[in-house]
Amino acid sequence: MALEKGRNLFKQLSEPLVSKLEGVNPATLTWLTLPTGLASAWLMMNAGDGQEGALMFVGAAVLMATAMALDGLDGNLARATGQVTRWGDYLDHTLDRVLDVVWVLALGYNMVWFGHAELAWAAAMFAMFGSYLGTQAQAVAGSRNYGGFSRADRMVLTFVALLSAAIMAYMDYSSWGEWNNIEINPISLIIAISGLGGIYTFVVRFFKAKVDLQSLDKTKPLSTPKGKENTDE
């Protein structure tokens, strides 16, 4: 979606910092996203109301933004310094998926603002479905599929939700109402958006991949050596 276009802008803005990090291994930045993201998740899960809850939500937003910035910097640094590797790409996508799930679950396990773990698990699973098809398209076709509701879209909206929850917590106000025993607030909304966005992304990326791969099959068909059976499951 539109927010994916911000990648080029981020690349331009990060060039001065990338030039100062030329002696750093890009994988170091990739690994740093994990503890930073987990610290953000802990704050998401434990934030309550009042001033303390507000500070925890702000802290969660800052740490999540830091993890996302590191996630963008590692690739830019790798390309700028000629350190692009298959392992680096694999590690990057693996940690992305881990944090995608952890952040949704952390918000879902927040007993003050949501507290419906089963719904959070469902939302996390649906979000993973969409992300999986993007990665799978890259593995099969060699090009990433960014269609649908992207990770960048979800992260920006999550950032907005965390800051909105911080304002509400500071005002000792944690809900706009209730629907089927679910509190309606920024946290419940972003969990719902993550799940529904994942379903939408799955459908969009599946059919786009179908068109792209069928076209690729026509121009560059796969050949199976005689006497060998396809053992893929």
State pLDDT tens for residues 194-209.
999 999 998 888 888 8
To which residue do tokens 């310094």 refer?
81
* pLDDT at res. 133: 78
- Consecutive H or E run containing 183: strand 182-183
CATH classification code of 2-213: 1.20.120.1760
Q: Report the Cα 199 to chain-centroid distance in Å.
A: 14
Which amino acid, residue 172? D
- pLDDT at residue 125 tops 80: yes
* pLDDT at res. 64: 97
Residue 123 near residue 194, CB atoms below 8 Å: yes
User: Residue 96 contacts by C-beta under 8 Å, 6 or more apart in sequence?
Assistant: 71, 131, 151
Lowest-confidence pick of 96-100, 119-123, 185-189, 222-226? 222-226
As given in the structure block, the two tokens for residue 132 are 């999986």
Between 18 and 6, whose confidence is greater?
18
CA distance 147 to 163: 27
* pLDDT at res. 131: 81
Nearest to 42 by CA among 124, 109, 121: 109
